[in-house]
Amino acid sequence: MTVQLPWWQREAFYEVYPRSFQDSDGDGVGDLPGLLRRLDYLADLGVGAVWITPFFPSPQRDFGYDVADYCGVDPTMGSLADFDRLVQEAHRRGLRVVLDLVANHTSSDHPWFVEARTSRASRRRDWYVWRDPAPDGGPPNNWLSFFGGPAWTLDAATGQYYLHQFLPEQPDLNYRNPAVLAAMEEVVRFWLDRGADGFRVDAAWLLVEDEKFRDEPPNPAWRPGMRERDRLVHLHTEDQPETHAVLRRLRAVLEEYRDRQPVLVGEVYLPFHRLVSYYGSSEEPECHFPFNFALVDLPPEEWTAQTLGSLVASYEAALPPWAWPSWVLGNHDRPRVASRLGEERSRLAHLLLLTLRGTPTLYYGDELGLPDGVVSPDRVRDTAGFREWGGRWSRDAARTPMPWDPGPQAGFTTGEPWLPLNPDFPRRNVQLQRQDSRSFLQLVRRLLHLRRSHPALVSGSWRLREAPPGVLAYRREGEDETFLVALNFRVQPARLELAAEVLLSTFLDREGWERSLELRGHEGLLARLRA
């Protein structure tokens, strides 16, 4: 008998950056009521879980990733009542709601930090990471921030430095203090009690730092043009052993609600052999899965059949036998996949994403083939990301408003959008792509529905198959069906000498049984093999 998988294994996830998804009140900023209006779109698309980036009260220096109140909704995003309605309506459509748990740090405006910096004797002083200055009065060690400069800022009033791996206005919490973890556990319970279906833990691999505060060694691979933070090898600020105890405690809170199967997902940027430790063990579980960013990190020139086949095989080999895989193509922090690969290869990438074993996560707009937006320096809102990337790129480019139709402001707002719309929105939008049977949107929608209709594409085995040069081919085999996925990463045509029923081409112009599979340049096929 087939075992019913938990929902977080069956369903595809969809990341919504709410500021850019749908505005409901004309202020140019997307919000929770706007997202509620678009739930039917997501249900029809075929995703099963909506991951919403932070909507909590915040001064918006890092657009919600600087939390000032973990148990509220920022007024620009709506209200707690709006959240409750969103969850109710999402569940009515069979959609789960996953929240972003910004556990590594708070805003400097959070009452915890405001109290912590009043004096060294404050009862919340040890909720954050404080150190005395170095003998020369400078920072206590050489640690660097993601957003440029030292990871330490001097609090002149109390004469100590506090740690921030991101902005100075994002002080790091101290998880060596049991009270901090207990407070975060209560935050998790607060949202689970309101109907949330799980959490993505932001910066999960950074939660704990070296207890001895040792300097980090220089990175011999650093070259001009790389990020300033990459000058160092992060032996003492990333992936500390104590991090896993924090995640085990958060997972234990979710187990209190196990009848609803809430999910814990970790944001972890580490190589496979270290990434898989964030599953914990079958006896002491941590994340249900950490995000696997290998496809996001893979340079465009390395999107070849040989490299991708080796990458997938390496990941599968690194996974513990009981662990569930995860695949991601993009997110709110990285250039969009269509800009990295171009439209044809981006179609191939989505066929890959939605036919590999494991839970796929899509980023809003990628289902339209949406490229990075054009955000001139005078329109950049993400000054932190602009610094992180050395001014060459801003995360704003991957956060431009969702184009819903070719009308005024692309149907996103009746006001002035907080970021400029992509210039191609009159041609690239949901309304027009719904009407085009061969559009990018139709490709992603059909793939999602095929994935739901055929269990072998979700839980079946994965195995590479021999293929002509430039073609990545693999089998997905379940109890009743076997599928072949073939992706031609070259311009030249290729042929696979086997009979199969083509269910879908990335060009969306062929279906049916074929005696041999002819692949055009940059074409991908999903085919069913004869029993």
Show the tokens assigned to 408: 């005024």
Beta bridge mates, 308? none
DSSP output for 323-343: ---EEES--TTS--HHHHH-H
Q: Which residues contact 46 (CB under 8 A, 6 or more apart)?
A: 12, 445, 448, 449, 451, 452
- Residue 237: closest CA among 140, 320, 326: 140
Interatomic CA distance for residues 383 and 373, integer angstroms: 16
Q: Of 392, 391, 315, 399, which Cα lies nearest the Cα of 363?
A: 399
Catalytic residue among 31, 62, 74, 202: 202
Q: How many residues does the chain have?
A: 531
Q: Would you state the structure tokens that stand for residue 326, as one six-digit string?
A: 């995860």
Task: Find the catalytic residue in 66, 216, 267, 388.
Answer: 267
Closest CA to 303 of 329, 325, 326, 324: 329
- The pair of structure tokens assigned to 188 is 């998790």
Look at the block and give the residue holding tokens 């959070």: 110
- Distance between CA atoms of 51 and 90, rounded to whole angstroms? 12
Q: Distances in Å between the alpha carbon of 118 and those of 125, 158, 194?
A: 8, 8, 33
267 is catalytic: yes
Rg of the chain in Å (alpha carbons) = 23
Crossing angle, helix 440-453 and helix 343-353, to 10 degrees?
10
Burial class of residue 241 in the structure, from the number of CB atoms within 10 Å of its CB (0-12 exposed, 13-18 middle, 19+ buried) = exposed
Active-site annotation, residues? 202, 267
